[in-house]
Structures are given as C-alpha cells and as structure tokens.
Chain A
Amino acid sequence: KAGVTQTPRYLIKTRGQQVTLSCSPISGHRSVSWYQQTPGQGLQFLFEYFSETQRNKGNFPGRFSGRQFSNSRSEMNVSTLELGDSALYLCASSLAQTLWDGYTFGSGTRLTVV
C-alpha cells in the first residue's frame, strides 16, 4: 500500500513569505503529526491532528499552523517566514487506535528560507 506522501520534496522561499506543506497519510490512518528537524534542535514536535481536530501542539509560535481534512490529508502553514524556519519538515501518520500503532513517516519537505 502507498506510504506517507509529502509534497513538495524541496522548497525555497524568501523571508517574509508564507508556505504550505502537504501530507497524505496512509489510507485508513486518522492521525497526522508534524515535526521540524534541524541539526541544532533535532526533532521538534509541531502538532498532531486526529479526525480533523488538533490533539496535541508543540511549543512553536502562532506563525505555524495546520489543519486536517475529512480525508485525513493534512497541511501545515508557516507565515512570515524567518531564516530559522529552514528545516526538514516531517509528517507521520498513525492508526492511533492503540499505543501499539506506530508512526509511519514520509520523506519530508526540505524548506530553505533565504
């Protein structure tokens, strides 16, 4: 079956712009989580959506937002981009019915802010 699909794979934006990243989970998975990965900070949790509702949120400024659609696809948006937002953004999906249901990750979107 198809894995977690993130688009685009690479993105270059200018400071002050906004960006939208997309994540299509594995069919049947209702939970989608977003992570920011940087060499200095490692993997930082952004938010998790389950059945269109935000279930958990990390410690990121309000410039970072997300949503989940009825088909479980999720988008995250970053407004007023800063140089420090350059990172690999990873999305993970899960059945989230039990703790045992692990997370399957996409290959990420590499965002570069110039």
Chain B
Amino acid sequence: AQTVTQSQPEMSVQEAETVTLSCTYDTSENNYYLFWYKQPPSRQMILVIRQEAYKQQNATENRFSVNFQKAAKSFSLKISDSQLGDTAMYFCAFKSSGDKLTFGTGTRLAVRP
C-alpha cells in the first residue's frame, strides 16, 4: 500500500515571501501521479499542481512549483510571492493506476500580512 507523509503540521510565512512544504511517499509502483491540493476554510479541495512520475521536469503553475525527487521519493511544493489567499491546508496526494487517491495528513499554512 502507498503511504504519503507530510512532516510539517503547520507552517507560517510572511506575505510576498517564499515557503516550501515537504512531502515524502512510499511506493513500489513505477507509474504514478503526485498532486498537491489546497483546502481553504470553504472546505473545497482545490487542485494546485500535479506531477507525472515519468517526467523529470518539475511542474510549475504560476507561483506554485514542485521539486520532484523520484529516487528519494520526495515531492515538495514551493509557493513564491505568498499571498493572503494562500492561507489553507495543503495536502500531498499519490495515485497509481487502479488505486485510490491517497492523501498525506496535511500542512496548515498561514500567510502573515
């Protein structure tokens, strides 16, 4: 079974600064996808960014980018130019073919004005 670990329960960052959220996972699969989801107080989980395991190039979406280290099974999320609206719970998730989407325990990010 796949496991996803987020070792930072809470993080805080000053507005306009950069923050990195950590995620590690364990799997014996070769083909899989990794995701970062954001859950603001509105409760709805929103997809932030995704990465295919076969792609060496790190995914980027505007201010969000990942550092994907396949050998180390690490998938960190970098948020640049942090904004107040980035305040939320962030979940790292893993999916392989035919299996469910597995989430980490989440990191609560607070952006300070």
Binding site for B on A (CB under 8 A): 33, 35, 42-43, 45, 48, 55-56, 58, 88, 90, 92, 99-100, 102-108, 110
Contact = CB atoms under 8 A, between A and B. Distances in A.
Contact of A42 (B95, B99, B103): B103
Interface stretch (B19-27, B45-53, B78-86): B45-53
A35 B95 CA distance: 15
B35 A102 contact: yes
B76 interface: no
B44 interface: yes
Interface majority SS (helix, strand, loop, mixed), chain A: strand
Task: Sort chain B's interface into a size bin.
Answer: 20 to 34
Contact of B102 (A45, A105, A107): A45
Nearest to B37: A105
A90 B42 CA distance: 12
A43 to B, nearest CB: 4
Contacts, number: 51
Interface of B: 31-33, 35, 37, 42-47, 50, 52, 91, 95-106
Contacts of A99: 31-33, 52, 95-97
Contacts of A88: 43
Contacts of B52: 99-100
Nearest to B104: A42
14 contacts: A42-B103, A42-B106, A56-B98, A58-B100, A88-B43, A90-B43, A99-B31, A99-B33, A99-B95, A100-B50, A102-B50, A105-B37, A107-B42, A110-B43
A103 B45 CA distance: 9
Contacts of B105: 42
A106 B105 CA distance: 19
